[in-house]
Every structure is written in structure tokens, then in C-alpha cells.
Amino acid sequence: LNNRAEPSRSGKPLLERLAGSTAGPPPVWLMRQAGRYLPEYRELRASAGSFLELCYTPELAAEVTLQPVRRFAIDAAILFSDILVVPDALGIEVRFVAGEGPQLEPVRTRSRVERLDPDRVRTHLAPVIETVRRVRADLPAKVALIGFAGAPWTVAAYAIEGCGSRDFLEARRLARSQPELVAELIDVLCEATIAYLIAQIDAGAEVVQLFDSWAGVLPTDELERWCLEPARRIVTQIGAERPGVPVILFPRGAGVSYPCFADLGPAGLALDTTVPIDWAARSLSRPGLCLQGNLDPVALLGPEAAMLESARTILEATAGRPHIFNLGHGVLPDTRPETVSRLVSYLKSVEL
Ligand code: CP3
């Protein structure tokens, strides 16, 4: 089953691109476009209590989702939430400690995996689904709404490790020493993720992106089992249950395995900063596949002329192919909002 988006008559540039169009300048949105680099986010965040409380308060989460849409001429809003709300919903304790990143109750035994409760996903994540509904109702006509979830491997890696990590050694070690246990965890996460994404779609998400931020810590033989197979299941199931809703895969760090993700037939494939854009434009050439990316977020820290030149290189390499302009990873907290404005207006006005 192909996940290719149906020809779009929505009038939304992002959806047209994901349906294979190449007309007009590429649509643009930025990963982590809502967040700490925006003063209006920091102000609201300070009054909201914990980060998870913010994610679970529809009124505030909807407001934060819309903040970058009000400020910049971007073509999509991405739901304001986090990939770790899924383990939280399954009953794994998750806390965001300021300055330290996420802390989770480590999940490393069969008995703990067996106590995870997929039935809690619907009830626990109801406030996030309500956020989707509110944002969709308030969105400008040409702006698309992107829902998202973490990919099973990336979420499992946080759950096994119990925190963020540069190499996720404990998660990789468990995947080798007890693959059946990790397979069971990945299985639960697959089911929860599919149910969660379908709920987002039914509430108004028009596109969904799957963030596999830590695909790159796996060697290629394990990538098949822990990243490609779950992504195949998710793309296929969404294609079957909600045909015409585009899925964008983001297997960050997948390197030479990127073509394997293209072969799963997603509507979109998000490129990290390490993927040479001219190689991607030539080699990831499945008919209809829309590429997304991949400006280095560091380019937004300056100088501006070099940033615009890098952006132009991406536009030139992808000319004539369906492409959505984005960064290769999230906006950095030190980014000046004025720089984002400059980048977006350049992208909207440039003639190649
Ligand atoms: O604007 C958007 O992109 C939507 C919101 C969004 C957040 N997290 C908000 C957030 C999205 C799409 C995510 C995805 C996410 N979360 C990923 C995948 C993308 C990626 O960056 O690779 C991952 C790995 C996470 C896990 C996570 N959440 C970490 C490691 C951290 C702590 C580090 C940090 O940046 O602070 C978070 C917290 C988080 N998620 C914040 C935001 C705005 C900062 C929390 C705060 O405001 O205090």
C-alpha cells in the first residue's frame, strides 16, 4: 500500500507538495518552530507550571502551536506536544527537569513491559487530541496542520535508557542481549503510536510526521528490525485506515539507509543535516516522494548571507522535485526570531 497523498484540492501548498506538485516556491516549516527561542513561548511557559502540564492543557498548547504561525509566513503548524507523552500515557513515569532534559522510569524487564497499558493512550492523551481540534479550527486557510509521534525505536531508547543520551548505550545493549524483550516493547509502542496518530488525524491533523531521532545510533542490520520494520507497519496501517493522509518519515542519522526508508512508500522523507542534498535529490527519486529539509540549524546562528546561500543551494538541488523546505533538525534555542523571519521571506521571494 502506498501512502502517497491524493491529489490535493485543499489550496494548501504543503499538502499540494506532498501530493507531488512542484508548482511555485517550496512550502516551508521548521522543526521545533515553537519553543524557547520565541519570547512569547518563554512568557507563556513560565506561567504554565511543568512542561507536561503545558502539553496537556489544550488552551495553552493550542496557543503555543499558533505562535510561530502568527509571526512567520510558514505553511504549516506542528502540534505542540512531545514524543514522550506516549510513554507517559502507557504508564512510564516521565519528568522534564529544567536544564537536564527528560527523565523516565527505566523500562528494562519483561514484567515492566507487560504492565504497560495501551488502553490508557486514548484517555490519557485526550487533551492532546483536543489541542489538535482547537488548532485546526483556528488555522489560517492556507496553513496545514501536522500531527506527530516519536518512532517506536526512539521512544523505546528513552524508556530503556531512562534519560536522553548521546549514544543510548543501555538501549543498544538491551536490544542485543534481550531482543525478544525489546521486540515486545517496540510492539506495544507501534500499536500505541498508530492509535495515537489516527486519533490526531480524526481530530484534524492533515499530515503526520514520525520522528526517529535516534535511528542513527543503530548499525544497519539492526536498523531493519528496530526502525524500518516499525515504520513499515505504521506507514502501511495509516495508508490502509486513513488513505490519502500523508506520512513524513524522519529517520535522523540513517545515512546510506535513507533509500530503504524511501522504499517504504511514505509521502515525505525528512533529511537530516548530514545527507548531501544533491545526492538525495538524485538518489531518493521514487515517483511522487516529497523530500523535506535540510538546512543546518547552526546556519541560523549567523552570518545571514551564508545562511541564505546555504538555503539557495538546497533550493537549486531540489528544483523540479517535490520538496518542503525545513531544517535538518530542530531550531536551536539561541536562534533570533528575526533570523527566522529573514529566512522565510527569502524563501518566499527568491527566483532561481
Ligand atoms: O515546535 C515543534 O516542533 C513542536 C513541538 C515538539 C517538542 N518536542 C516540544 C518540546 C516536538 C515535535 C518535539 C519532538 C521531540 N521531543 C523529539 C524529536 C525531535 C528531535 O528534536 O529530535 C525528541 C527527541 C523529543 C524529546 C525531548 N523533549 C527532549 C530531548 C527535550 C529536552 C531538550 C530540550 O530541547 O529542552 C524535550 C523538551 C521539549 N520538547 C521542549 C519543547 C519546546 C523544551 C521544554 C521546555 O520548554 O522547557
For residue 2, pLDDT beyond 70: no
What whole-number distance in Å separates Cα of residue 140 and Cα of residue 163? 37
The whole model's pTM is what? 0.97
Which residues form ligand 1's pocket by a CB distance below 6 Å?
A: 31-36, 45, 51, 78, 80, 82-84, 96, 101-102, 148, 164, 211, 213, 330
Average pLDDT, the chain: 96
Q: Which of 33, 47, 82 to mutate to test the pocket of ligand 1 (most atoms within 8 A of CB)?
A: 82
Q: What is the pLDDT of residue 170?
A: 98
**pLDDT, tens digit, 9 for 90 and up, residues 152-163:** 999 999 999 999
Q: Known catalytic residue: 45? A: yes
Q: What is the pLDDT of residue 246?
A: 98
User: Could you tell me if 37 and 333 are in contact, meaning their C-beta atoms sit under 8 angstroms apart?
Assistant: yes
Provide the 3-class DSSP secondary structure of residue 294.
Answer: strand
**What separation in Å is there between the alpha carbon of 80 and the centre of ligand 1?**
9
What whole-number distance in Å separates Cα of residue 158 and Cα of residue 174? 12
**pLDDT, tens digit, 9 for 90 and up, residues 142-181:** 999 999 999 999 999 999 999 999 999 999 999 999 999 9
Residue 321 — φ and ψ, nearest 5°? -120, 150
For residue 216, pLDDT beyond 70: yes
Which residue among the candidates 75, 82, 88, 212 is catalytic per the annotation?
A: 82
For residue 6, pLDDT beyond 90: no
Cell numbers representing residue 42 in the block: 518563554
DSSP-derived secondary structure letter, 26? P
Q: How confident is the model at residue 352 (pLDDT cuts 50, 70, 90)?
A: confident
For residue 322, pLDDT beyond 70: yes
CA angle 216, 29, 7 (to 5 degrees): 95
